[in-house]
């Protein structure tokens, strides 16, 4: 008998099942004042109410039967679902490159977890080969599950272990690394890994999916195939994010870990390089460079892992009429670093000046970024900006707020010296700040404009 706590049934529904001595996987006929229902009792989601029993009908549909109305349940047998992703031995070919897939969460192939209604990922090479056999044409794959968390639960502990494992794999001679990751904070992780893993000789490619892999139209398999291809065959030895380029099933883009951002809550092509252009396009036919100023793959294993991290850092998203007590509260709580996402070229209102001054006097490191995401902080243009700099706020050029946040964590993890922190923050490691913004680094098309419509009609997005 399955543990009751695992079935999701409680309250009225739970006691009805007990009364008639049936449980999940019982094949039953339920008599009720609402009618007669036949099917297999399924587990119930923990977050659903306790008033219904879930049945799988012979047609494959599920329904809920009102527990109160049930007068009788007759069991005709039991059929337990034996869920297994078809597992096949992943073929090994000495001529193919070796790639390690490190998992932190997210799904490539998956199954449903009845209790939570969420999906449980398939992960072993055999499972992956069973669901995405194309991978075997590209490389020899080894997998290792580090974590199984949603990306919002990633934090310093996970960043550090991930960076260390990547270092170990590189030193062990792997030809490329793929990191499976939930998409919500993939750009945070991509940025911090860029700082923690310096000078990698092989590609480190982060990948996820915007549609769970239990959907036929999922982007999971395509993203994975392309990421593995970039890791195995690509020449770009940097931390990259590999996700859908257009919404169509056409190609993925390889984005630099410090310039990429999730820009739509649900769209497939949600990841965009901000203020610059992506590094390359990748599809099963190959990798096409969009720029050539990237670090090349090397044969050596000279990678530097620096996992310093100070947790007492925050992002302050400025809004009009922000009160100084917010800044005071941050300082009083012992924060050592603040990244402000300011308006326009990097502004905040005058009433905050006092609090900002107090903060910098207390040794808090404050950096200015822009909430417009595109463009540089430029604090000389208006008097406001100059005044803010006087208070000790350091402009962070065109660093994205999230990138500035993880970089300040990393910098403060190494030193508390004002000038050293400043030096670390403003010396780019991998384009987190750039000298110039290309004209095609900011492209947000507006629908309905005739030439844009013309473009959309002729190009599959």
From the CB of 250, what's the least distance to another protein, in Å?
6
Query: Which one of 104-112, 136-144, 345-353, 389-397 is the stretch in contact with another protein (CB under 8 A)?
Result: 104-112
Query: Quick one: 79 or 423, whose CB is closer to another protein?
Result: 79
Which residues carry out catalysis?
Answer: 107, 183-184, 262
Instruction: Match 């402000």 to its residue by tokens.
Output: 340
Residues 141 and 125: their CA atoms lie apart, in Å, by 6
Distance CA 101, CA 231 (A): 10
Please tell me whether residue 446 binds another protein under the rule CB under 8 A. Answer: no
How far apart CA 339 and CA 176 sit, in angstroms, is: 33
Select from 77, 320, 334, 447 the one that contacts another protein (CB under 8 A): 447
Which of 1, 3, 95, 217 binds another protein (CB under 8 A)? It is 217
268 touches another protein (CB under 8 A): yes
Sign, CA dihedral 193-194-198-204, equals: positive
Using rule CB under 8 A, residue 29 touches another protein: no
| 49 binding another protein? (CB under 8 A) | yes
Q: Can residue 35 be called a binding residue for another protein (CB under 8 A)?
A: yes
Cα dihedral angle (296, 398, 269, 165), rounded to 10 degrees? 50
Nearer residue to another protein within complex by CB, 119 or 426? 119
Minimal distance in Å, beta carbon 450 to another protein?
11
- Which two three-digit tokens encode residue 18? 């007990």
- Coil, helix or strand at residue 10: coil
Among 5, 6, 15, 36, binds another protein (CB under 8 A): 36
Q: Does 450 bind another protein (CB under 8 A)?
A: no
Q: Is 282 in the site for another protein (CB under 8 A)?
A: no
- Judge whether 183 and 243 are in contact, CB under 8 Å: yes
- Contact status, residue 28 vs residue 38, Cβ threshold 8 Å: yes
Cα–Cα distance, 441 to 375 (Å, whole number): 10
Residues constituting the chain: 461
Instruction: Tell me which of 21, 72, 215, 362 binds another protein, using CB under 8 A.
Output: 215
Mark the segment that binds another protein (CB under 8 A) among 150-158, 169-177, 243-251, 410-418.
243-251
Give the interface segment with another protein, choosing from 29-37, 335-343, 352-360, 386-394 (CB under 8 A): 29-37
Using CB under 8 A as the binding rule, whether residue 250 contacts another protein is answered as yes
**Are the C-beta atoms of 232 and 95 separated by less than 8 Å?**
no
CA dist 207 and 198 (Å) reads 20
Q: Which of residues 53-92 bind another protein (CB under 8 A)?
A: 54, 56-67, 69, 81-86
Interface with another protein includes 120 (CB under 8 A)? no
CA dihedral 145→148→153→159, nearest 10 degrees, is 0
Which residues, 6 or more positions from 84, have their beta carbon under 8 angstroms from its beta carbon?
Answer: none
Q: How many CB atoms lie within 10 A of CB 445?
A: 10
Among 3, 95, 216, 446, binds another protein (CB under 8 A): 216
Residue span binding another protein (CB under 8 A) among the ranges 247-255, 291-299, 349-357, 361-369: 247-255
Q: Return the closest-CA partner of residue 103 out of 139, 175, 151.
A: 151
Window contacting another protein (CB under 8 A); options: 217-225, 273-281, 402-410, 436-444:
217-225
Interaction of residue 461 with another protein, rule CB under 8 A: yes
Tell me the CA distances in angstroms from 278 to 201, 254, 282, 371, one per residue in order. 20, 6, 11, 21
| C-beta of residue 66 within 8 angstroms of C-beta of residue 51 | yes
Decide: is 408 part of the binding site for another protein (CB under 8 A): no
User: 37 vs 195, which CB is nearer to another protein?
Assistant: 37
Shortest distance (Å) from residue 2 CB to another protein: 16
Instruction: For the CB of residue 459, give the shortest distance to another protein in the complex, in Å.
Output: 8
Number of residues that bind another protein (CB under 8 A): 61
- The upper half-sphere exposure of residue 282, i.e. CA atoms within 13 Å in the direction of its Cβ, equals 30
Handedness of CA 379, 381, 384, 390 (dihedral sign): positive
Q: How far is the CB of 461 from another protein (least distance, A)?
A: 6
User: Whose CA is closest to 229, among 94, 96, 91?
Assistant: 96
Contact 23, 2 (CB under 8 A): yes
**Given the rule CB under 8 A, which of 193-201, 264-272, 294-302, 418-426 is the region that contacts another protein?**
264-272
> Which is closer to another protein, CB of 251 or CB of 335?
251
Interface residue list for another protein (CB under 8 A)? 34-37, 45, 47-49, 51-52, 54, 56-67, 69, 81-86, 109, 111-112, 117-119, 131, 211-218, 221-222, 247-250, 266-268, 447-448, 453, 456-457, 460-461
């Amino acid at each position: 008998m399955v543990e009751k706590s695992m079935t999701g049934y409680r309250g009225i529904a739970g006691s009805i099942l007990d009364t008639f001595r049936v449980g999940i996987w019982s094949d039953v006929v339920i008599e009720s004042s609402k009618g007669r229902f036949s099917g297999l009792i399924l587990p119930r989601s923990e977050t659903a109410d306790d008033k219904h029993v879930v049945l799988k009908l012979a047609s494959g549909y599920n329904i809920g039967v009102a527990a109160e109305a049930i007068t009788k349940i007759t069991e005709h047998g039991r059929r337990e679902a034996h869920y297994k992703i078809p597992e096949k031995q992943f073929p090994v070919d000495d001529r193919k490159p070796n790639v390690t897939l490190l998992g932190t969460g997210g799904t490539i192939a998956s199954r449903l977890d009845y209790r939570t209604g969420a999906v449980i990922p398939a992960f072993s090479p055999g499972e992956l080969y069973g669901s995405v056999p194309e991978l075997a044409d590209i490389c020899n794959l080894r997998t290792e599950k580090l974590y199984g968390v949603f990306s919002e639960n990633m934090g310093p502990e996970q960043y550090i272990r991930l960076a260390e494992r990547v270092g170990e794999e590189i030193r062990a001679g792997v030809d490329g690394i793929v990191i499976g990751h939930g998409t919500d904070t993939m750009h945070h992780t991509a940025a911090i890994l860029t700082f923690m893993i310096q000078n990698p000789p092989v590609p480190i490619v982060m990948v996820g999916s915007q549609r769970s892999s239990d959907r036929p139209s999922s982007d999971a398999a395509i993203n994975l195939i392309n990421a593995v291809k970039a890791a195995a065959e690509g020449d770009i030895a940097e931390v990259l994010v590999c996700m859908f380029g257009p919404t169509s099933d056409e190609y993925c883009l390889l984005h630099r870990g410090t310039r990429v951002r999730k820009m739509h809550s649900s769209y497939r092509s949600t990841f965009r390089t901000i203020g610059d252009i992506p590094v390359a396009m990748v599809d099963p036919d190959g990798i096409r460079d969009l720029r050539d100023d990237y670090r090349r793959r090397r044969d050596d294993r000279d990678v530097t892992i620096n996992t310093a991290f100070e947790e007492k850092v925050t992002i302050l998203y400025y809004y009009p009429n922000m009160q100084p007590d917010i800044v005071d509260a941050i300082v009083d709580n012992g924060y050592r670093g603040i990244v402000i996402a300011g308006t326009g070229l990097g502004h905040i209102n005058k009433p905050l000046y006092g609090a900002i001054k107090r903060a910098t006097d207390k040794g808090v490191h404050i950096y200015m970024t822009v909430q417009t995401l595109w463009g540089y902080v430029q604090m000389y243009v208006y008097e406001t900006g100059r005044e803010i700099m006087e208070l000790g706020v350091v402009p962070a050029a065109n660093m994205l707020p999230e990138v500035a946040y993880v970089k300040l964590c990393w910098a403060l993890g190494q030193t508390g010296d004002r000038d050293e922190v400043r030096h670390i923050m403003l010396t780019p490691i991998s384009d987190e700040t750039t000298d110039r913004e290309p004209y095609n680094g900011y492209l947000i098309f507006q629908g309905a404009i005739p030439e844009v419509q013309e473009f959309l009609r002729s190009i599959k997005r």
